[in-house]
Structure 1
Amino acid sequence: MTMTKKFALPLLAGLIGGAAALPALAGGYIEPAPAPVVVQPEPVLSYGNWAGGYVGANVGWNDDKADPDFGATGSMTANGESFGLGAGYNWQSGAWVYGVEGDISTADISDSETSGGDEFESKIDTMATLRGRVGYDMGNWMPYVTAGVAAAKADYSFENAAGRSSDSDTLTGYTAGFGAEYKINDKWSAKGEYLYTKFDGRFEGEGDVDHDVNSLRLGMNYHF
């Protein structure tokens, strides 16, 4: 092989390779292939498990505006604590929780009022409610509204120039309120609630006694 052929063959190969690359260079920037699209799954809503039965206990503070429609005494505000036991059952559909709850409490809600020589005393020593509840599941939290019927036992006394008389009455009425319950774990929950209760009472031989009771309660429930 002559010296001319020795250098001519590599040169020819280089020219052919360069010619093949010219179209790509002439076309400018070549856009890279797009990255694969990753589809994120739709988030799955997670609800707590509020369905089932429960029992519990509560403590409360109560203000009672008692308003007799007889004698010279006007309305008075009695107040006192209460201690109660309760039970209920919940049904759940999605985030909505529907339930029924009943409770009974011992109480010491008492006061007296004197005016114009007349003295009136009122004391509520037992209260009970039967209520429906509608709550919204927010995981561990469940705010709710509640309403139903209520009953109580009241002791009255009235004294004026004619003498002193006493009476006991079973009060009936309605109650409504709202609250929130927090799931501590699968078995235990804590709750706080406000209830307004309207009672109609009767003092025999004298007249009617209206009661407006505002209650704040804290409680614990055991779920099963």
Structure 2
Amino acid sequence: MNRSLLLGAAALLATGTASLAADMPYPVKAEPVAVFVPAFSWTGLYLGGNAGYAWGESKATDVLFFDSTGGVYTPEAGLYAGNDLNFGNMDGWVAGGQIGYNYQFENNVVVGVEADFQWTGAEESIAFYATPGGPYYQTSAELEWFGTVRARLGYAFDRLLVYGTGGFAYGKVSSSTTVMGLTGGGAPDFTTAASGSHDNVNTGWTVGGGLEYAITDNWILRGEYLYVDLGEANVTSYLAGTSGSFVSAKADLTSNIVRAAISYKF
């Protein structure tokens, strides 16, 4: 009888164990843990360099030549357009650096401020007869360097920033003039040449826009266009070797600039 009881208990235990095993869930593979990648932010200080090309024009108005005897000569209509000179195709390279700071709002609007400084090779020269009897002018103008301080406003599409910009501009404009009389045959007489030069730092304004793309969290590429107007300045070039002789004019300069830039955002 005891043997029968033992066999019954063993059968009952085996049945319960099998039922419990059938009720246990099969092992399930764990879901992968999501890794949070924060969106790129344009907020921060940046510093970089740039290079490009500039083209524009410089105009000189009210051009007057005063000789040592007090005589005054002005370019005549038909030989030149009144007494105004236009240096067309004043173009050349530009290169420099920039520093700025951006702040990005939650709605992806980006505001900032930037300052830059550029060296340039933009220059042009012209030559003309003031009157049929002279004098003969050779004159040139050059934008040696310029800088800007600008506000920026843009919208960020993650790593792409589209922006407009505008503000204050300043630059050094250099001019040189050589004046000479004519030979008996009406050609320029270089033995009578007298030259002078004038440097002036002009101020004005600038406006433009561009695109920036963050290729990494720190390195940013840019393409940009700026229009720079350096306003008008009085220019007086005293002619060396001819006491009391000088050329006077009012000069202004405008320039279009396209450039590429790379910046490091801290």
- The size of the alignment, in residue pairs, is 179
Sequence identity (%): 28
Match of 1:75 among 83, 86, 107: 86
Structure 2 counterpart of 1:153:
172
Q: How does 1:204-223 map to 2 (within 5 A)?
A: 204=236, 206-223=248-265
In structure 2, the residue corresponding to 1:211 is in which secondary structure? strand
Structure 1 counterpart of 2:123:
110
Gaps of 5+ in 1: 1-45
Q: Which amino acid aligns with 1:186?
A: D
Shift of 1:47: 5.3
**CA separation in 2, counterparts of 1:130 and 1:101?**
6
Structure 1 counterpart of 2:212:
181
Deviation >6 Å, runs of 4+: none
Does structure 1 conserve the Cα–Cα contact (< 8 Å) formed by 2:114 and 2:149? yes
199-208 vs 113-122, which moves further: 199-208
Q: Which amino acid aligns with 1:179?
A: G
User: Is the counterpart of residue 139 in structure 1 residue 151 in structure 2?
Assistant: no
Does structure 2 conserve the Cα–Cα contact (< 8 Å) formed by 1:48 and 1:138? no
**CA separation in 2, counterparts of 1:168 and 1:86?**
25
**CA separation in 1, counterparts of 2:227 and 2:51?**
16
In structure 1, the residue corresponding to 2:121 is in which secondary structure? strand
**Greater radius of gyration (CA):** 1
**CA separation in 2, counterparts of 1:156 and 1:217?**
25
Does structure 2 conserve the Cα–Cα contact (< 8 Å) formed by 1:55 and 1:223? yes
**CA separation in 2, counterparts of 1:168 and 1:103?**
21
Length-normalised TM-score, structure 1: 0.76
Structure 2 counterpart of 1:203:
235
Q: How does 1:10-89 map to 2 (within 5 A)?
A: 48-69=40-61, 70=63, 72=75, 74-76=85-87, 77-89=89-101
Q: How does 1:156-175 map to 2 (within 5 A)?
A: 156-161=175-180, 163-175=194-206
**CA separation in 2, counterparts of 1:124 and 1:143?**
29
**CA separation in 2, counterparts of 1:62 and 1:83?**
10
1:75-129, Cα deviation, whole Å (9 max, x unpaired): 1121111110110001111210000000111111111011222222011111110
Shift of 1:48: 3.1
Q: Which amino acid aligns with 1:187?
A: N
Does structure 2 conserve the Cα–Cα contact (< 8 Å) formed by 1:190 and 1:221? yes
Length-normalised TM-score, structure 2: 0.64
Q: CA RMSD in A?
A: 1.6
**CA separation in 1, counterparts of 2:139 and 2:168?**
27
1:181-210, Cα deviation, whole Å (9 max, x unpaired): 011010001001100000123312512111
